[in-house]
Amino acid sequence: IEKQQWSFSGPFGTYDPAQLQRGFKVYREVCSGCHSLRLVAFRNLAQPGGPGFSEDEAKAIAAEYTVMDGPNDDGDMYERPAILADHFPSPFPNEQAARAANGGAYPPDFSLLAKARAAHRGFPNFVFDAFTQYQEQGPDYIYALLTGYEEEAPEGVEVPVGQYYNHSFLAGKTLAMAPPLSEELVEYTDNTPMPVDQYAKDVAAFMMWAAEPHLEERKKIGFRVMAFLIIFGSLLYFTKQKIWRNVDH
């Protein structure tokens, strides 16, 4: 899996709100018909370090969805427009319905997929990754998968009926998901080019944010902790030198 350049990689990386908004648009218009996002609440869209939606914009997005609530005073469940506290509803009522609609395949939830589907880079790459703090193997894989479809499989590779060849798929060479992206499928309003690789990169970044929405805060806290430990360790060293400098050992 080829390593990509991401704005959020490295110890000081941050999310690009414009990219996250584009990725969210791709998710809504292409991916949400099959894949759920059940661990992400609508209020997360307006939180700091995220896609940069205002609270009113997040409320408007939530109002476009309906969620099941209840029971009411009569003991019945009912549907209502979603609010900020609600999570994104699943496109299917249960797993069996999802499998029935997708030829037996169960579309995975997108909430944590960018962290769960990381491709191992092997030795010595993982050693370099530890020093550079590179943790974006998941978005790398998602991008590679979305851009790895080929119309014709190589010689000797048999593609079963209802399957599609993808040279980047880790669990084999074919999968049940048809190529979800095509050029100019989703209209961007910020003059960003609209080829497949741009869509793939944007939605991969959005999925990374969904899996780790507090990434920027974590990095800031980590930097402060490391700075404190360096200063504190230095003070302990000089204190020890002053107290024990005239003591025979």
Mean pLDDT of all residues belonging to the chain: 93
Res. 119: pLDDT tops 80? no
- Contact present, 219 and 12 (Cβ < 8 Å): yes
Give me the pLDDT at residue 126, please: 81
Res. 74: pLDDT tops 90? no
Give me the pLDDT at residue 125, please: 82
pLDDT class of 120 with cuts at 50, 70, 90 = confident
**pLDDT tens per residue across span 127-170:** 888 888 888 999 999 999 999 999 999 998 999 998 999 999 99
Give me the pLDDT at residue 83, please: 96
**pLDDT tens per residue across span 187-232:** 999 999 999 999 999 999 999 999 999 999 999 999 999 999 999 9
Res. 1: pLDDT tops 90? no
Burial of 196 (0-12, 13-18, 19+ CB in 10 A): middle
Give me the pLDDT at residue 124, please: 84
Non-local CB neighbours of 30 within 8 Å, separated by 6+ positions: 180, 181, 185, 186, 199, 203
Give me the pLDDT at residue 139, please: 96
Reported in sequence order, the residue ranges of 21-125 that DSSP labels E, i.e. its strands, are 66-69, 78-81
From residue 181, give the alpha-carbon distance in Å to each of 23, 26, 224. Answer: 12, 9, 41
Res. 121: pLDDT tops 80? no
- Contact present, 66 and 80 (Cβ < 8 Å): yes
**pLDDT tens per residue across span 94-107:** 999 999 999 889 99
Helix or strand or coil: residue 144?
Answer: helix
**pLDDT tens per residue across span 10-68:** 889 999 999 999 999 999 999 999 999 999 999 999 999 999 999 999 999 999 999 99
